[in-house]
Structure 1
Amino acid sequence: MFTCINQSCGTQWQLSDVVIKDEGQGPLFRCALCGARNYLKRVETKDGRVIYKQIEGKPLK
């Protein structure tokens, strides 16, 4: 479950509810209600699955 980082929004989203894309700063999803960018970290598990974990703030390059 992901939570919008916009304090006035804070909506919770399931992975199936968001569209993950890269706008040049790494993977993120935009909140469908307020449009806030919510940054994610792409992690590949030992069995080859890809999962996403939400991170706070912008990712460091």
Structure 2
Amino acid sequence: MFTCRNQSCGAQWELSDVVIKNEGQGLLFRCPMCGARNYVTRHVAADGATTYEQITDIPPRGQH
């Protein structure tokens, strides 16, 4: 489950609800509701399965 880090949004999404892509600043998904960028990291297991984890240590834009 991913959570939009835009403070005024906070919507929750399953992997099947979002599109993960690289817009030149690393892997991210844009919130389908508000369009905010939410960064993720890719993990590949020994069996070849790919999973994604949301990065939460990068502050959302405008918050320090």
- TM-score w.r.t. structure 1 length? 0.89
Equivalences for 1:15-34 in 2 at 5 Å?
A: 15-34=15-34
| Displaced runs of 4 or more, over 3 A | none
What percent identity do the matched residue pairs reach?
Answer: 66
Unaligned runs of 5+ in 2: 60-64
Unaligned runs of 5+ in 1: none
Q: State how many pairs are aligned.
A: 58
Question: Looking at both structures, which has the greater relative contact order when contacts are Cα pairs under 8 Å and sequence separation is at least 6?
Answer: 1
Task: Give 1:32 deviation, angstroms.
Answer: 1.1
- TM-score w.r.t. structure 2 length? 0.85
Residue in 1 aligned with 2:4?
4
Q: For the aligned residues, what is the CA RMSD? A: 1.1
